[in-house]
Structure 1
């Protein structure tokens, strides 16, 4: 994959994190001072070796060398801390931006993207950028200063020997450039593979009961090992390049060192070069060699960071859901919900709903019946605006829901699905989920618990409402999770109530009480019900029969029994 992201894009992404330029400049300045200090040490060493006669001055010079060395190291430490703090702050804000963006993306994005890949973007890609800023960039600055300073001093000390050193430059570039480009491609592929593998692992671990129940260990072992071996393959490709790069660079540098020692030794024996200058020259040479090997690593990490930047920019640039605006929250009454010739498909070339028109009024119970896959749950998803319609419109009190701020719309909708979603945390956390603390009282929570018939099992728990439910509510039974979902809807007190087989997971005794509670909750609201058991919707004000995305019948239970063949068959199958 070609790298479409430039340094300009990377710098713009960093700028958007509100980089503290003053602190960054201070870190670079201290790095500069520390590097200059390290450049002074060889000169002092030269002066010491070349001979000052007085013992006192030699001792003072030793002390000065040590002091400069210690000060340089201390400044490097302070500079590293400052730049590390800047890097951590940048990554903090970058992760916040990416996380906030994920929360604003439409459901369609999550339908198409594995959650593990999204996790990799928040954790792995941002970490790559952090490493470049925190570690590799300071090393680059220090290395550049060190190399430039050392080269200048070397030419001042002895330009003839300095020319020998430059033999390594064209040789190094010939080696580093092609290997660096190849390493860049491998690193980017490794990032993609890591994200995909993270997605597979997370998916498998979250559905471990499915794996165990259907003896899927062998399949998952094969799938996991395929990903692991793929990562191993990319890792070995990186190792192969490094296996070539390090020895070759080491050999080139060693060849240069041998040449300089040989030529310098000859000059020293002839008396045209002092021993101190020779030692200083070698010290400066090492200050050039170390950054040169680091530059190759920086080039690789820089390309990794560009790849990560491309992915993060791609996420940040995705279209968000509709606008959020708390100021209009009280203006929605949900007296009339209307579908006007609504058509919709999850894929552009495959329509699920065809020209659906219906109306639901406040104080009405409207039910949807039909075979699986007929589009009943899709209607609920469109009302929640998980997706926008492809044609037609959905209106609330005459206003198109696309013109209503999402939080205003969803604040007035209570949705109890066939299997209520549970987050890790306490029972209280789940019941009050999405509500601010000022929106309810402890008495409201207790009432919601009792009206949903959740108190029956909550009172038996040692921690009561503060009981931890585990990941995805794994410590609770299906019926308990469902009753918590119903309690959540009670507490929200919505104006539109949508029930998707809300009592399906309950035993007959619990269902009786919960159904009575739901009947109370339905009063004064617009109520939509999806039901497979017709006993729960016989008394509905209006029943719509869906088949293959079309409304093929509507009316009361009695009217449909008389006029709709398929509905009559459904009824006879359940009641005989």
Structure 2
């Protein structure tokens, strides 16, 4: 996965070479110290020796600093490339993917998991390579200085490994569980904070606090388990260090007194001991982080390998003024009962077709199939004689304008929202004309900053009617050939509904229009009304035809139109 981000081999090589150079210099320092101790006298101390020692430390510092910077640069570049790939992938994943994956988990993959990979590269990778070099180099030099003492010193290390290796495995399990729990907690936060008004209006603060508290408590428990393992590792490392130090000082002191070892060599042994123990700790940490990165990488690759929408393949639409024909259309989600079964109808170009019926009948699902969010289980949808899946997604979806019951807005200005999805620059005249036809210009002009007024997250600073009119202005600016209206006025008050209905008339003019409606008063003048029950079409025709032929439609009409009669008058 790292290779796929194409990191600079030259920069990485320089960084690793700098680390190796720094480590080799560090291996040279104890030998210089040994010679100083063994032959130390003021008369023998020369400026050349002082310059050599000082230069050695300066070279090591520069090499180490340069290596750290370059590796951090590489790590940041890799994580940026990974996030870029993930972001691009997330935007082309089908709607079905988001039906099956929680938003918080997806966000966690994008942020936390990529961060784990970066940490491995920038903080631990060089420690691993240089640690191995430092350990091997130190042992080779120590064997050269005094192999007997080296064997005695190394006998303690297997004993330490008996404790440290199982603790490292335990730390990996804890770290993996911590990542999963962090993703779950992120999901809870995202869900609650995005619907905070629902939480407050439902007096659900206590319930959501309890849900969040469970996540916090679980994270706390993982943190305690991690702390317990760290509390064992740190003292054990210190114990090993002290045991080795005692062995070296005690046994080494005996050998110095017997003349088998010089005082300088004993000092060198102590310095090399540090260069063995510290890198071993870093190598252990690397393996723990490496296991965490493997887990994170598996989840990232799983997302990158997910099936995506193909926005390019297929032909461009040359004519959109053709009938939409639905042939034997059936659909069901991966888990669940069929939503649509053997649906057949025809939508003439430039006409208005209303889809009505009881809730849960599959009306909105048909819109999703028409926009190719999902693939039909059986049957086809045609534009003229061509199945719609022969057109490129980009070309097909560019034909549509969609206004829903809760028209979504993005955080930004009114201008941003009306122009959303328009790639080319929109001039002010076209913007104002679209707003005027949508009956949105009146309230926009009353805003302190006009079209540059911020609408808040999901347009919360605007009323429902204002949001709908901005959505209609957006659709008008997009100039779609096919219009879909999904309960576009059902949530509005009577005054806003009248204004929005007028705006919709402007939008529908000259376009093929499909309307989902529960209120029949909004669709009685449609060219065709299709009545859907439990995923099947049980009647179609004009309002007058269905009143005569369809009992349930007649019941709906009798109830609703009688109730709405005083309001319409």
TM-score, normalised with respect to structure 1:
0.95
State yes or no: 1:562 paired with 2:556: no
State yes or no: 1:118 paired with 2:106: yes
SS at match of 2:446: coil
State yes or no: 1:320 paired with 2:319: no
CA contact (8 A) 1:164 1:256 kept: no
Which of 196, 206, 215 is the aligned partner of 1:227?
215
SS at match of 1:303: helix
> What aligned pairs does 1:342-361 form with structure 2 within 5 A after superposition?
342-361=329-348
Match of 1:247 in 2: 235
Residue-pair matches, total: 562
> What aligned pairs does 1:382-421 form with structure 2 within 5 A after superposition?
382-421=369-408
| Cα drift, residue 401 of structure 1 | 1.9
Distance 1:329 1:426, change over 3 A: farther
State yes or no: 1:476 paired with 2:462: yes
Distance 1:334 1:149, change over 3 A: farther
State yes or no: 1:431 paired with 2:418: yes
State yes or no: 1:180 paired with 2:180: no
| Cα drift, residue 278 of structure 1 | 0.8
| Cα drift, residue 228 of structure 1 | 0.7
State yes or no: 1:139 paired with 2:127: yes
Find the aligned partners of 1:516 and 1:567 in 2 and give their Cα distance: 26
CA contact (8 A) 1:168 1:253 kept: no
CA contact (8 A) 2:465 2:500 kept: no
Match of 1:8 in 2: none
> What aligned pairs does 1:470-549 form with structure 2 within 5 A after superposition?
470-549=456-535
Find the aligned partners of 1:476 and 1:349 in 2 and give their Cα distance: 37
| Cα drift, residue 554 of structure 1 | 0.3
Match of 1:460 in 2: 446
Match of 2:436 in 1: 450
Which of 194, 202, 214 is the aligned partner of 1:214?
202
Find the aligned partners of 1:378 and 1:53 in 2 and give their Cα distance: 91
Find the aligned partners of 1:322 and 1:147 in 2 and give their Cα distance: 52
1:209-254: CA deviations, max 9, x gaps? 1111111111111110101111111111111112122212321221
Deviates more, 1:555-564 or 1:243-252: 243-252
| Cα drift, residue 503 of structure 1 | 2.6
Find the aligned partners of 2:462 and 2:14 in 1 and give their Cα distance: 55
Match of 2:186 in 1: 198
| Cα drift, residue 264 of structure 1 | 0.7
Find the aligned partners of 1:412 and 1:314 in 2 and give their Cα distance: 33
Deviates more, 1:186-195 or 1:123-132: 186-195
> What aligned pairs does 1:58-97 form with structure 2 within 5 A after superposition?
58-97=46-85
Match of 2:565 in 1: none
Distance 1:332 1:283, change over 3 A: farther
SS at match of 2:225: helix
> What aligned pairs does 1:163-174 form with structure 2 within 5 A after superposition?
163-174=151-162
| Cα drift, residue 58 of structure 1 | 4.0
CA contact (8 A) 1:368 1:529 kept: yes
CA contact (8 A) 2:353 2:529 kept: yes
Match of 2:567 in 1: none
| Cα drift, residue 403 of structure 1 | 2.1
Match of 2:427 in 1: 441
State yes or no: 1:36 paired with 2:14: no
SS at match of 2:241: helix
1:499-550: CA deviations, max 9, x gaps? 1122334444443343233223323321100112212111111000111111
1:98-154: CA deviations, max 9, x gaps? 111111111111111111110000000000000000111111122112111111111
Match of 1:27 in 2: 15
CA contact (8 A) 1:499 1:528 kept: yes
Distance 1:348 1:218, change over 3 A: closer
1:397-433: CA deviations, max 9, x gaps? 2222222211111111101011001111111111111
CA contact (8 A) 2:469 2:503 kept: no
Find the aligned partners of 1:235 and 1:21 in 2 and give their Cα distance: 37
Find the aligned partners of 1:463 and 1:329 in 2 and give their Cα distance: 40
| Cα drift, residue 348 of structure 1 | 4.2
Deviates more, 1:148-157 or 1:556-565: 148-157
SS at match of 2:231: helix
CA contact (8 A) 1:451 1:514 kept: no
TM-score, normalised with respect to structure 2:
0.96
CA contact (8 A) 2:321 2:350 kept: no
- Structure 1 spans left out of the alignment, 5+ residues: 1-12
Match of 1:573 in 2: 559
- Structure 2 spans left out of the alignment, 5+ residues: 563-569
CA contact (8 A) 2:317 2:396 kept: no
| Cα drift, residue 175 of structure 1 | 1.7
SS at match of 1:420: coil
> What aligned pairs does 1:253-402 form with structure 2 within 5 A after superposition?
253-324=241-312, 328-402=315-389
Find the aligned partners of 1:249 and 1:196 in 2 and give their Cα distance: 34
